[in-house]
Amino acid sequence: MKILVATEKPFAPLAVNMIREVTEAAGHELALLENYTDVADLLSEVADADALIVRSDKVTAQVLDAAKNLKIVVRAGAGYDNLDLTACSANNVVAMNTPGQNSNAVAELAFEMMLYQARGGFAGKAGTELRGKTLGLMAFGNVGKYMANIAKGFGMDVYAFDPFLSGEAIEKAGVKVCKTVDDLFSKCQYVSLHIPANDETKKSIGFELLKKMPKNAVLINTARKEVIDEDGLLKIFAERGDISYLSDVAPDCKNEFEEKYKDRFIFTAKKMGAQTKEANINAGVAAARQIADYFKTGNETFRLNK
């Protein structure tokens, strides 16, 4: 079987070697398409692939139509808003993700941005500390749990809102429960988003929630830029000079931030949350193993589509 790794933002070389080892040990062949800028390259490479490993690369109906032999696609990572699951099912392609494998890297990036911002970008002025501050986790999944552990080490007061988890499960992790999103935003100076981008969550974080945040509010977004209502974000920035926005990937309104709100934002140049050697190895190798196992035993753990 031909397993294609198609990554517009490549894995670390060591991760690619390890993916190759797993693939070849299972008797399959590895093909690599890295750093591509034209979807036409993906369309031609995928034409004879039996399996596909991607990161945030878009697997659209067009890609699936071109992939006549494709049986399985694995998103090496957590968020699968880049996979057209309906088209996968229509083309009899099994779609999976690798939840949890890059979560520590994402949580560390959120903290790195928080620390950098709290110390004013290390520019020499007096900053603030995280100790004793409130942190609200918007969803308590894999990343949220890593965040809670790091935050507790820093002496932060940690809260979480998660409509899919019982209060007990959150409390067991030593985190205080917020029953509503409003409560989370009202209580916490720092709010970190760990929600997927879907029809319910897109543009769900906007002016009304952000205006509830305490003084010197910091919104951290290592989820997806699509969950932010950017008009609302700009409105709160215009009204409140004490709010900051730290985001893994710049919003569409980046220019306005650069013109008006210097020192109150951090935007990464490219999505960096999962961009560590360890996360690349964890997620990439998990993807290769899931594919090898699917071909060998039909194991469909982590299947996303019906």
Stretch that binds ligand 3PG, among 58-66, 115-123, 128-136, 267-275 (CB under 6 A): 267-275
Stretch that binds ligand 3PG, among 62-70, 72-80, 226-234, 293-301 (CB under 6 A): 72-80
The number of residues in the chain equals 306
Task: Give the whole-angstrom CA distance, residue 129 versus residue 300.
Answer: 45
Q: If DSSP codes are grouped into helix, strand and coil, which group holds residue 245?
A: strand
In sequence order, which residues have a C-beta less than 8 Å from that of residue 140 and are 6 or more positions away?
148, 160, 161, 162, 165, 169, 170, 173, 175, 194
Stretch that binds ligand 3PG, among 30-38, 116-124, 154-162, 266-274 (CB under 6 A): 266-274
Task: Give the whole-angstrom CA distance, residue 306 versus residue 294.
Answer: 15
Nearest distance in Å: CB 221, ligand 3PG:
11
Query: Does 144 engage in binding with ligand 3PG (CB under 6 A)?
Result: no
CB 100 within 8 A of CB 90: no
Task: Give the whole-angstrom CA distance, residue 61 versus residue 169.
Answer: 38
For ligand 3PG, which is the closer residue by CB, 168 or 199? Answer: 199
Q: In what helix (H) or strand (E) does residue 103 lie, and over which residues does it extend?
A: helix 103-118
Query: Does 6 engage in binding with ligand 3PG (CB under 6 A)?
Result: no
Q: Which of 77, 136, 141, 284 binds ligand 3PG (CB under 6 A)?
A: 77
Query: Does 102 engage in binding with ligand 3PG (CB under 6 A)?
Result: yes
Nearest distance in Å: CB 59, ligand 3PG:
13
For ligand 3PG, which is the closer residue by CB, 136 or 273? Answer: 273
Which 8-27 residues touch ligand 3PG, going by CB under 6 A? Answer: 9
Query: Does 56 engage in binding with ligand 3PG (CB under 6 A)?
Result: yes
Contacts by 103-106 with C-beta closer than 8 Å and gap 24+? 103/78, 103/141, 103/142, 103/143, 103/145, 103/146, 104/146, 104/278, 104/279, 105/273, 105/274, 105/275, 105/276, 105/278, 105/279, 106/143, 106/146, 106/222, 106/248, 106/273, 106/274, 106/279
Residue least distant from ligand 3PG (Cβ): 77
Q: Which of 23, 45, 49, 55 binds ligand 3PG (CB under 6 A)?
A: 55
Query: Does 273 engage in binding with ligand 3PG (CB under 6 A)?
Result: yes
Amino acid at 245: Y
Task: Give the whole-angstrom CA distance, residue 241 versus residue 261.
Answer: 9
Nearest distance in Å: CB 275, ligand 3PG:
6
Query: Does 271 engage in binding with ligand 3PG (CB under 6 A)?
Result: yes
Give the burial class of 231: count Cβ atoms within 10 A of its Cβ; 0-12 exposed, 13-18 middle, 19 or more buried.
exposed
Q: Which of 45, 52, 79, 109 binds ligand 3PG (CB under 6 A)?
A: 79
Q: Which of 6, 49, 74, 78 binds ligand 3PG (CB under 6 A)?
A: 78
Give me the residues that bind ligand 3PG (CB under 6 A), please: 9, 55-56, 77-79, 102, 271, 273-275
